[in-house]
């Protein structure tokens, strides 16, 4: 893979193709005193200290408590979600798709802001910024149509859906994803805001948006379904108008960028990511089904589960996003040896996750009227064991995806967060399953030993 070296005030930088020239030029611009570069110098990723990283991780990870709110919102709209068999069935796919899109956007913005190919402002920005947003808009529609088609196949086979429901599914999913573009705008705003205030977007943006997006897209989905099924012809017309407007908007973007090589390349990479994620999501669903058989009706585990898998994904995003930025800047090499250069991020994010896991345990137990010192210790021990198994694995996976995609000449930001967050769901779910099996098995063995001792004494 071709690369060029650039001499800067920070030393020599090795920048790989195909973006070497653009990145080199942006790094040279850092010598100037423009407002953009003054901001960038204040958020230098190489100057992050452990206290700063720990504070940013703990603050952003705290937003995983919003994951509990998503569960409450889903329960509140449950009657609406029961109006047709496909409505609940397609809901997890909508959450996953929106998470993939938000993760891709957050990762690419974090790297581009550090490198200097995007400025922290909405107007008079670079071509790279507008290309990125156009890509997100088009990908959202492609995901909508893909999910609708897959849902139709599964619906015919398993859910009792009729062929006539296909139009309903397409309209409702497309309209929901169209409204979901506001989440992308919020992601951009948060990236710019954190960067301007000297916080690292690679650390704070995705952890905040992963949980926030779940809540917002759940509300949008419920509103669209309500309008379509409960408000007669007027409601259906509103959903159709939103969908048609979105289709026309995407068509105009596609025509404008049909010869844009960077736009086409990004689309191909993101779609490849979605295929990989779709496979991983099926694994997670299978594991969750197994867990349900083990935990039965323990509501405290069900309540904490969405926030738990979000937390593991957030930890991975810190390492993955930081690695992609440092690879782009030449601060680390694409090798496992350089993982030690991220030790402050590893320790800071891991310690923050342990604190959040303990807090989630207390909140879940309190909401289910189960909070006692003994039960808190037991439940916290389960979550800590899950953390100790899942977090090191997601560290390695996130870093591995970063260096492998970088070596192959792909843009790592198109792959790292979407894939690692999906892996995080599966790893956290599998870890929870193993811990619960271990505890139930241990309790069974202890019970058998105790019974034998009692028979011996008698």
pLDDT in tens, 383-421: 999 999 999 999 999 999 999 999 988 888 888 888 888
* 275 C-beta neighbours (distance < 10 Å), count: 9
Q: What is the pLDDT of residue 15?
A: 44
Q: Is residue 11 part of a domain?
A: no
Q: Is residue 322 part of a domain?
A: yes
Q: Is residue 452 part of a domain?
A: no
**Residue 296, H or E segment:** none
Name the most confidently modeled range: 74-88, 283-297, 300-314, 318-332: 318-332
CA dihedral (396, 399, 403, 136) in degrees, to 10, reads 130
On the question of pLDDT at 358 being above 70, the answer is yes
Q: What does the mean pLDDT of the chain come to?
A: 78
Burial string for 210-239 (b: 16+ CB within 10 Å, else e) reads bbbbbbbbbbbbbbbbebbbeeeeebbeeb
Q: Is residue 457 part of a domain?
A: no
Can you tell me the mean pLDDT for 126-143? Answer: 87
Alpha helices in 181-231 (DSSP H): 181-196, 201-230
Q: Tell me which of 261 and 74 has the higher pLDDT.
A: 261
Give the total number of structural domains in the chain.
1
> End-to-end distance of the chain based on CA atoms, in angstroms?
77
Q: Is residue 196 part of a domain?
A: yes
Q: For 7-21, 122-136, 365-379, which range has the lowest pLDDT when averaged over its residues?
A: 7-21
Q: What is the pLDDT of residue 295?
A: 57
C-alpha span between 330 and 394 (Å, rounded): 23
Q: What is the pLDDT of residue 329?
A: 85
Residue 11 β-bridge partners: 8
Q: Is residue 455 part of a domain?
A: no
Nearest to 325 by CA among 111, 42, 119: 111
Q: Note if the bond before 16 is cis, omega within 30 degrees.
A: no
Sign for the CA dihedral angle at 256, 262, 98, 351 comes to negative
Can you tell me the mean pLDDT for 326-353? Answer: 90
At 85, list the tokens: 């068999």
Q: Is residue 319 part of a domain?
A: yes
* 350 C-beta neighbours (distance < 10 Å), count: 19
Distance from chain centroid for Cα 11: 34
Q: Largest Cα–Cα distance in the chain?
A: 87
**Beta carbons of 327 and 403 less than 8 angstroms apart:** yes
pLDDT digits (tens, 9 = 90+) for 42-55: 455 555 688 888 88
Q: Using a pLDDT cut of 90, give the percent of the chain over it.
A: 23
Q: What is the pLDDT of residue 398?
A: 93
CA dihedral (243, 246, 251, 253) in degrees, to 10, reads -170
Q: Which long-range contacts (CB under 8 A, 24 or more apart) does 404-409 make?
A: 404/334, 406/16, 406/324, 406/327, 406/334, 407/1, 407/334, 409/1, 409/16, 409/17, 409/18
3-state secondary structure of 22: helix
Structural domain for 298, as ranges: 33-446
- CB-side exposure of 211: number of CA atoms within 13 Å? 25
Nearest to 71 by CA among 62, 81, 59: 81
Q: What is the pLDDT of residue 252?
A: 93
On the question of pLDDT at 264 being above 70, the answer is yes
pLDDT digits (tens, 9 = 90+) for 342-353: 999 999 999 999
Predicted confidence band at 200 (pLDDT cuts at 50, 70, 90)? confident
Q: What is the pLDDT of residue 93?
A: 73
Q: How far is CA 414 from CA 113, 136, 159, in A?
A: 15, 11, 33
3-state secondary structure of 364: helix
Q: For 46-60, 174-188, 433-447, which range has the lowest pLDDT when averaged over its residues?
A: 433-447
Q: Is residue 382 part of a domain?
A: yes
On the question of pLDDT at 149 being above 80, the answer is no
Q: Using a pLDDT cut of 70, give the percent of the chain over it.
A: 77
On the question of pLDDT at 454 being above 50, the answer is no
């Amino acid at each position: 893979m071709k690369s060029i070296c650039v001499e800067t005030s920070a030393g020599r930088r090795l920048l790989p193709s195909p973006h070497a020239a653009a990145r080199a030029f942006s790094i040279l611009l850092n010598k100037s005193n423009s407002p953009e570069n003054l901001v960038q110098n204040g958020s230098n990723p190489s100057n992050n200290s452990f206290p700063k990283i720990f504070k940013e991780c703990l603050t952003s990870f705290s937003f995983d408590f919003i994951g509990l709110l998503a569960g409450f919102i889903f329960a509140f709209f449950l009657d609406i979600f029961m109006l047709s068999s496909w409505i609940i069935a397609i809901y997890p796919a909508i959450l996953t798709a929106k998470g993939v899109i938000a993760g891709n956007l957050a990762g690419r913005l974090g790297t581009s802001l550090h490198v200097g190919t995007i400025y922290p402002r909405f107007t008079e920005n670079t071509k790279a910024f507008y290309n990125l947003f156009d890509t997100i808009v088009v990908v959202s529609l492609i995901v909508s149509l893909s999910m609708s088609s897959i849902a139709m196949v599964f619906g015919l086979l398993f859910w009792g859906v009729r062929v006539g429901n296909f139009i309903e599914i397409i309209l409702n999913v497309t309209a929901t994803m169209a409204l979901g573009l506001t989440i992308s705008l919020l992601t951009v705003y948060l990236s710019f805001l954190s960067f301007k205030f000297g916080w690292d977007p690679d650390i704070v943006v995705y952890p905040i948006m992963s949980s926030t997006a779940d809540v917002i897209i759940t509300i949008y989905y419920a509103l669209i379904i309500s309008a379509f099924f409960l408000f007669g012809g007027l409601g259906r017309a509103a959903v159709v108008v939103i969908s048609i407007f979105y289709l026309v908007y995407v068509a105009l973007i596609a025509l404008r960028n049909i010869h844009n090589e960077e736009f086409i390349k990004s689309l191909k990479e993101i779609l490849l990511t979605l295929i990989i994620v779709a496979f991983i999501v099926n694994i997670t669903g299978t594991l969750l089904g197994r867990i349900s058989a083990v935990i039965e009706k323990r509501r405290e585990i069900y309540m904490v589960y969405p926030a738990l898998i979000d937390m593991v994904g957030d930890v991975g995003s810190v390492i993955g996003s930081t690695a992609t930025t440092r690879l782009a800047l030449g601060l680390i090499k694409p090798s496992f040896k350089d993982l030690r250069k991220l030790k402050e991020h590893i320790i800071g994010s891991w310690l923050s996750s342990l604190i959040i896991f303990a807090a989630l345990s207390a909140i879940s137990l309190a909401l289910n009227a189960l909070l006692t010192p003994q039960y808190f210790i037991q439940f916290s021990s389960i979550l800590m064991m899950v953390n100790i198994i899942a977090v090191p694995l997601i560290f390695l996976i996130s870093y591995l995806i970063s260096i492998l995609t970088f070596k192959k000449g792909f843009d790592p930001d198109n792959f790292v967060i979407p894939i690692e967050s999906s892996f995080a769901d599966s790893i956290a779910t599998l870890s929870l399953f193993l811990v619960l099996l271990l505890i139930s098995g241990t309790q069974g063995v202890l019970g058998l030993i105790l019974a034998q001792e009692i028979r011996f004494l008698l």
